Amino acid sequence: MAIRITGLGDEIAAVTGLPWHLNLEEWPEDPSLAEKRGISRHVVRLIRSGNELDSEVYAIKETVSEIANHEYKILRKLTQFGAPSVEPIAVVEGRTDANGEELPSALATRFLPYSLPYRILLSGSVSAHDITTMASALALLLVRLHLLGFWWGDCSLSNTLFRRDAEAFAAYLVDAETGEFQKSLSDGQREHDLEIAHFNVAAELEDLALSGVLYPGMDPVRASDSVIRRYRRLWAALKEPQLLDPTDRHAVERAMRQLQDLGFAVEEVSVSIDGDSKMLSFQPKLVAAGYHQQRLRELMGLETEEFQAKRLLASFDRYCTREKDLGISVNELARKWLSEVFEPMVAQVPTELRGRIESAQMFHEALEHRWYLSEQAGHDVGLNFAIQSYINDLLPFRRDSGVNSLTQ
């Protein structure tokens, strides 16, 4: 039987060179990559496409052909919609070992840089704030998927990867084999997904509690409840009408801004006078995630997470206020901010420390560090001093971001 590889054209060459004649359990795996791999009911390996440390990293999962092809198609569609999910690379079928014995089919996806499974995050030094933001990230992920008409069917912490996003986390779907797309989801379908999520998250956290690595004092069921509550608040804000004071001419503007603060651009809205209360009924009709990301991308071409983008834009807006008398356009100011503020910060990182943290996340943390140092000193220590202090005192201990940093 001939091996068949179906996938992205520009990735086929790298995928073809992997040892498909071996059972996945026999593949050599860099220990630093193994640390980044979560648990799975399938055999999974994280593999570099080449010998160099900066080679592309793929997640390879063994499964049956039907499931591999289904998940590949679902992930392709999620990627095309811009959903937070891993990117599919290829489906590999017709595998045989050296004796001609048939091997399982495989699905290859691109490893998500700077991401961590929940077990690593929750077994480390975490705070109640970290747990709250993880719950919010998972809830937001499920909301975004449901807005696209996607029923996950197996929402869980194990099927999610987390990336730091300023003071929060961003959650990404990493397993879609049970998922299905509909034109739109009914309330019953959404509730079913929520029931599955609630059970899975509580069970996973209970497992961590029994193993003695869970954050002390954390109740698994209450933590799972918080995911569902956050989901319902987000869904209501995005899909249910708000009653506003018709005499307040800024009410609609504030309602729009509240949705933008949640990270959603409002592309279509319905405004009407409620017949009974005479209040203004404001209802979003069409929303799109990534409001701050899109604004930052258009201004500066930077790709970041949503709350990282919000933090960078806040810094840029303050910069614009200081430079407003220059008489130049916003786009020119954006280029000026990049060359005078953001890029010099990135350039200060020594070679041996690069790759440990995303540049946008480092900028956010350096600003937080500046605030902390200024509070201690009783005056503003300045951005340059704070960045150098961050690089010297904090960055060397960052081991939770980036694949390559774990090998240095």
- List 61's β-bridge partners, or say none: 44, 107
- On average, the pLDDT of the chain sits at 88
Phi, psi of 318 (to 5 degrees): -65, -40
* Percent with pLDDT over 90 in the chain: 55
The residues that bridge with 168 in the sheet, in sequence order, are: 165
Going by pLDDT thresholds of 50, 70 and 90, the confidence category of residue 161 is very high
Distance CA 74, CA 58 (A): 18
- Per residue in 309-334, is it b (16+ CB within 10 Å) or e — as a string? bbbbbebbeebeeeeeeeeeeeeebb
Q: How many CB atoms lie within 10 A of CB 11?
A: 19
Round to whole Å and give the CA distance between 334 and 299.
6
Task: Identify whether the C-beta of residue 306 lies closer than 8 Å to the C-beta of residue 290.
Answer: yes
Laid out side by side, the sheet with 168-173 consists of 115-116, 160-165, 168-173
What's the pLDDT tens digit per position in 295-307?
Answer: 999 999 999 999 9
Q: Which residue has the tokens 């996945």?
A: 24
Q: Going from the N-terminus, what domains does the chain have, and what CATH number goes with each?
A: 4-112 (3.30.200), 116-239 (1.10.510.10), 242-289 (no CATH), 304-407 (no CATH)
Distance CA 179, CA 151 (A): 6
Q: How far apart are CA 316 and CA 321, in angstroms?
A: 9
CA distance 367 to 317: 15
User: What is the rounded distance in angstroms from the CA atom of residue 245 to the CA atom of residue 251?
Assistant: 7
Label residue 399 by pLDDT band (50, 70, 90).
low
Q: Which token pair is 147?
A: 């807005």
SS3 assignment, position 183: coil
pLDDT value of position 352: 87
Res. 387 pLDDT band, cuts 50 70 90: very high
- Within 10 angstroms of residue 286's Cβ, the number of other Cβ atoms is 11
CB 198 within 8 A of CB 228: yes
**Is residue 221 over pLDDT 60?**
yes
Most confident of 45-54, 119-128, 203-212: 203-212
Structure tokens at 85: 């999910």
Between 371 and 210, the higher pLDDT residue: 371
- Would you say residue 119 has pLDDT above 90? no
Give the closest residue to 348 by CA, choosing from 387, 394, 386, 381: 387
- The closest of 351, 385, 387 to 366, measured between CA atoms, is 387
pLDDT at 171 over 90: yes
DSSP state of 153: S
Asked whether the predicted pLDDT for residue 199 surpasses 80, the reply is yes
Judged by DSSP in three states, 177 sits in coil
| Cβ contact 161:112 at 8 Å | yes
